[in-house]
Amino acid sequence: MSEQTQERAGILITDLKEIATMAGPPEGPLHGGALGDLEIVQDAAIAIGGGEILAVGPTQDLRERFRASTVVDATGMVATPGLVDPHTHMVYAGSREDEFEERVKGATYLQIASSGGGILSTVRETRKASMNRIVRQSLPRLQRALRHGTTTMEIKSGYGLDADSEEKMLAAIDYLRRLQPIDLVSTFMGAHWLPEEFTNNREGYIRDVIRKQIPRARSMAEFCDVFCEEGVFSPDETREILAAAKDSGMKLKIHADEFKDTGGAALAGSLKAASADHLGAIGPEGIKALRGKGTIAVLLPGTSFYIGLGRYAPARALIEAGVPVALGSDGNPGSCVTDSMQVILSLACLRLRMTPHEALASATRNAAWAIDRGKEAGILEEGRPADVVVWAAPSCKAIPHQFGTNLVHQVYKKGVLVHEEGA
């Protein structure tokens, strides 16, 4: 093809050993055998223009077809969609490394929490902090997540636990959209824990969430999430709060069956929630309840690992039952202190026994569907936003294989190079 007849591209990334596109019909999250049966393009290139993917295909074809302003030689590397982290608590004030030592010495997560540490210490710090301070402290976390390959991220409120403080958190998330390139999805989570002032008045706090917090959060948050767990919020309380959230126009998520099977997953299925998250203790009934409901099982192996439960969500049983599975970091100040989805990919293989390809699909395409971004994120296909990670790895399988090391070479967000390792 002569130069005159070539199409123009902004960027042409060439000579990739592999691209895992995550594409392939039908639209929607991958489940069952399809989760690990990925479209892998060999000796591949990506053409980017106008912030979008123009084409993905063999390097030779794309070299002939496109004339690009910038050609990036990615010899020996691989590419995937930007990672999508569908479950985080990344916005808060303070840090809790002092209680880390207590945990090292044997105190459990719930013991620390019930003695005023844990979540409640972050609530105290977050209530005290100005929105600007919360933004300033949270920004480096998002910058680190980006450097580790995350280009779309959900963030929950839930360290305010009163109408003003929850609104402040949601405003901080909104402000962070302007300061860095990761696309952020907001979730209101006033029902994350019972605040100290309501210790003896559970019913009063649920009224506060429904009557004061939800009306102010509805315009700022796309999802509402509730921590449904023994000692936190019961399935009945969860149902009541989520009914109000749904009436207010929010989509639904549940922290379900993390420590005990309290029927959270079943509730998520019956409400057709967007996702049921954690599921470390989900039983066969819960798995059955999630089938065919459009609810995505968001697994958070980082938390099971970090708090040392020795028990992980039954990923294989969920996949075999045909439930669509996604992976999230659960990045938070106490029970899973990480900003990286890469370490989650390794844990998914090593502890959830997911194959490397299953893990990658669960952290891209399926994770995007878990936060209703399936049409924009988690997939490399013509016309989609060009959110791309180029990895210094010899194959896509080698990404989860490497543990605790950042393998990211470049991150593109909407076609712009937003991070380059060692540059």
Q: Which residues would be at the binding site for a copy of itself (CB under 8 A)?
A: 95-98, 100-101, 104-106, 140, 143-144, 147-148, 302, 305-306, 308, 310, 336-340, 342-344, 349-351, 353-356, 392, 394-395, 397-398, 400-407, 419, 421-422
For a copy of itself, the closer CB: 371 or 392: 392
The distance of closest approach from Cβ of residue 344 to a copy of itself in the complex, given in angstroms and rounded to an integer, is 8
For a copy of itself, which is the closer residue by CB, 212 or 401? 401
Query: How far, rounded to the nearest angstrom, does the alpha carbon of residue 407 sit from its chain's CA centroid?
Result: 19
Nearest of 35, 85, 82 to residue 324 by alpha carbon: 35
Contact between 70 and 11 under an 8 Å Cβ cutoff? The reply is yes
Centre a 10 Å sphere on the Cβ of residue 347 and count the other Cβ atoms it contains. 25
Write out the H or E segment, with its range, that includes residue 270. Answer: helix 264-270
Cβ nearer to a copy of itself, comparing 96 with 251: 96
Distance CA 362, CA 376 (A): 15
Q: How far is the CB of 202 from a copy of itself (least distance, A)?
A: 32
Least separation in angstroms between CB 133 and a copy of itself: 13
Strand order from edge to edge, sheet including 325-327? 83-85, 150-156, 183-191, 223-228, 251-256, 275-278, 296-299, 325-327
Instruction: Name the 3-class secondary structure at 365.
Output: helix
The rounded radius of gyration (Å) of the Cα atoms in the chain is 21
N-terminal to C-terminal alpha carbon distance within the chain: 34
- In the bound state with a copy of itself, the residue whose beta carbon lies nearer, of 295 and 346, is 346
Q: Which is nearer to a copy of itself, 255 or 351 (CB)?
A: 351
Nearest alpha-carbon partner for 274 in 331, 224, 210, 327: 224
Cα–Cα distance between 46 and 52 in angstroms, integer?
A: 10
**Measured from the CB atom, is 89 or 96 closer to a copy of itself?**
96
Q: Which C-beta is closer to a copy of itself: that of 213 or that of 303?
A: 303
| Nearest residue to 121 via CA among 70, 29, 195 | 195
Closest distance of CB 79 from a copy of itself, Å: 16
Which residue has 């009914």 as its token pair? 243
Residue 404 CB, nearest approach to a copy of itself (Å): 3
DSSP state of 395: S
At closest approach, how far in Å is the CB of 121 from a copy of itself?
A: 14
Residue 363 beta carbon to a copy of itself: minimum distance, rounded to whole angstroms: 13
